Structure 1
Amino acid sequence: MIKKWDRKTVLTLLYSFVALALAVTVCFLLVSKFSHKEQPKQASSSTSVSTSKSDSSEQKVSISGEYVANTGDKAKIDGGNKEWKINYQTPDGAVSAEFTTEWKSEGETLIATDKMRKSDGNSDFTITIRIFKYKTAKQPLITITMSDGNPAHEMVFANQKDFFEPSDENGEGTQTTE
């Protein structure tokens, strides 16, 4: 026997199905929205993971070569992989030091910091190497900062001589008066 439903029952069932469909849609959208919000958090946490450890292609960066300081002093780095040796001049004479690199990525800059094992026995120095725009520049700027915390003892070297030259950013070049 087929029962005929009255108009009130049909509308109640129809509204119930519409309400159920809306509730399911809202739940689906909320779940997908929260899962999308967590994905950027995971991406930023993977970014911070990349700041603490870089991938293997970044670890193969070579910093071997000659460097110049703002004083005109020179330094030379030899080595490879993660083991390096730097030779440079101090007022007390020639010094060499060994250090390792564990690269961290901060934006477009690779950074490595390590305690130096110096030939003069001074173990207070830390070396920090920065490679700017390492992914995009053909000849990226590399700076080396050696410091024991005393600004008078700090030495800064760069692989580009013009790094220490004053820049004319304000357009205040040489002016002549007539």
Structure 2
Amino acid sequence: MELGVFVDRLQSELAVTASSATDEMRAAAERVAAGLDAATRLVLLEALSEAADAITRELAPGSVHVRLRGRDADFVVTPPPVPHAPQQDPAPAAPTEAEPADGPAARINFRPPEALKARIEEAAAQAGVSVNSWLVRTTTAALDRRGGPVPEGSSRNRVVGWAG
């Protein structure tokens, strides 16, 4: 998505608004508009990221991500797995309230044996998701089946969203 089109449009709107002002005020408005380029792009990226997060919560277990390419934004859409596609393992459940989609992501180092890594990659590909998404879903499903702790006020049966 080319953000420059929107930045130019905003600058144009500011110029139109300033056109009824004095020459000095118009010149000041043009200088301000030119200086807003980076700030405008940042605000647009933040808005697109929030929109992608909201869409991801509705699209679960699929996802939408915004990636910066140069000065423009690209969307990466991971569709949910096809329900009738054969899978070797049962489909992992989407996260419950115990794992809020809007919470911060944590990093861990996971070093499986090469053979297990290959199996994980194959299962993720069959499910049509990234390895990270597959690992998060599978871990969540395993913990839910084991009856792991659920924070007070939450439910295992209520799906609230997914950020892959």
> Do both proteins adopt the same fold according to a TM-score greater than 0.5, normalized to the shorter chain?
no
- TM-score norm. by structure 2 comes to 0.29
Name the structure with the higher helix share.
Answer: 2
Greater relative CO (CA pairs within 8 A, separation 6+): 2
Name the structure with the higher strand share.
Answer: 1
- TM-score norm. by structure 1 comes to 0.27
Which structure: larger Rg? Answer: 1
